[in-house]
């Protein structure tokens, strides 16, 4: 295994693991340092100013561990704080953008549903993105406050989860949505249950692969790609590293992980 300089990846909790998986697939010889801010999860109920201050602290933590680039694996943190982070930190910083553009381009019905956190839906940069692609296409947004907690507890397929998903998604399908955009990284873990609720009536889009492709571009541009062919490593930190958090994170990651407490 390679001791390559790591790339820092963070989210409020486990959601960003769905992005980290795609990053590993795209860049197998890179090493990653994943930080879950579980003490303060969910981010979706926090204010823009709180998010800006907290994500700066998280970014500093990752920089102090020598990261060569950062991935904000969280839509809520991206739309609220990535511009401020980029002003302060001179490293490549890649964020997550919900797949509204491809959904709008490919929607035959001209109706797209977007699931996200309340704070993502409130953010100026998200509203700008919506304005850019609405018009010929109707973009319907839906805040989903229950879903982050369900994913944090690895409760992906229960009746409770299906009922919550149904309450958020059915109204969008009733209004004719033929694409459902997952605008929160936690929701990728619910893909199977979301597909069950949708029952073939719409396509599901998330942002993992485009984020990974963008990270590859940025690392290439700044000559930061690891030249070694040895497989990279990933280490995991959390601000709420309880044994239950480690257990749930291992379940979602698909193999046992050692979770270290930090900030």
Active-site annotation, residues: 74, 184
In angstroms, what is the minimal distance from the CB of 248 to ligand DGL? 14
Rounded to whole angstroms, what are the CA distances from 165 to 45, 58, 67? Answer: 19, 31, 37
Q: At 234, is the secondary structure helix, strand, or coil?
A: strand
Within 177-196, the residues that bind ligand DGL by CB under 6 A are 184-186
Pick between residue 107 and residue 120 the one whose CB is nearest to ligand DGL: 120
Per-residue binding letters, 63-92, with ligand DGL (x by CB under 6 A): -----------xxx----------------
Residue 118 near residue 44 (C-beta atoms within 8 A): yes
Rg of the Cα atoms in the chain: 18
Among 98, 94, 95, CA closest to 126: 98
Choosing from 23, 71, 72, 148, the residue that interacts with ligand DGL (CB under 6 A) is: 148
In angstroms, what is the minimal distance from the CB of 205 to ligand DGL? 14
Position with the least CB separation from ligand DGL: 44
Within 26-65, the residues that bind ligand DGL by CB under 6 A are 41-44
In angstroms, what is the minimal distance from the CB of 74 to ligand DGL? 4
Among 12, 34, 31, CA closest to 151: 12
**Residue 238 binds to ligand DGL (criterion: CB under 6 A):** no
Within 87-126, the residues that bind ligand DGL by CB under 6 A are 117, 120
Pick between residue 76 and residue 248 the one whose CB is nearest to ligand DGL: 76
Residue 18 near residue 43 (C-beta atoms within 8 A): no
**Residue whose structure tokens are 């296409």:** 137
Buried b (16+ CB within 10 A) or exposed e, 58-89: bbebbeeeebbbbbbbbbbbbbbbbebbeeeb
List contacts with ligand DGL (CB under 6 A).
11-12, 15, 41-44, 74-76, 117, 120, 148, 184-186
């Amino acid at each position: 295994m390679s001791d390559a300089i790591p790339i820092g990846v963070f989210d409020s909790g486990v959601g960003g693991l769905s992005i980290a998986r795609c990053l590993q697939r795209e860049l197998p010889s890179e090493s990653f340092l994943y930080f879950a801010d579980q003490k303060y999860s969910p981010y979706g109920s926090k204010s823009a100013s709180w998010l800006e201050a907290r994500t700066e602290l998280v970014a500093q933590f990752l920089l102090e561990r020598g990261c060569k680039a950062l991935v904000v694996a969280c839509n809520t943190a991206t739309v609220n704080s990535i511009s401020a982070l980029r002003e302060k930190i001179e490293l490549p910083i890649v964020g997550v953008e919900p797949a509204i553009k491809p959904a709008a381009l490919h929607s035959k019905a001209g109706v797209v549903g977007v699931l996200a956190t309340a704070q993502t839906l409130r953010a100026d940069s998200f509203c700008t993105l919506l304005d850019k692609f609405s018009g010929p296409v109707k973009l319907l947004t839906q805040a989903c406050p229950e879903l982050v907690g369900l994913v944090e507890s690895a409760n992906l397929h229960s009746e409770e989860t299906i009922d919550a998903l149904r309450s958020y998604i059915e109204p969008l399908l009733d209004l004719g949505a033929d694409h459902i955009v997952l605008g929160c990284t936690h929701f990728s873990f619910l893909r199977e249950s979301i597909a069950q609720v949708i029952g073939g009536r719409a396509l599901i889009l998330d942002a993992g692969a485009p984020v990974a492709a963008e990270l590859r571009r940025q690392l290439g541009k700044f000559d930061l790609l690891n030249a070694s062919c040895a497989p990279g490593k990933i280490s995991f930190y959390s601000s709420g590293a309880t044994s239950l958090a480690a257990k749930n994170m291992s379940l979602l990651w698909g193999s046992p992980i050692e979770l270290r407490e930090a900030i």
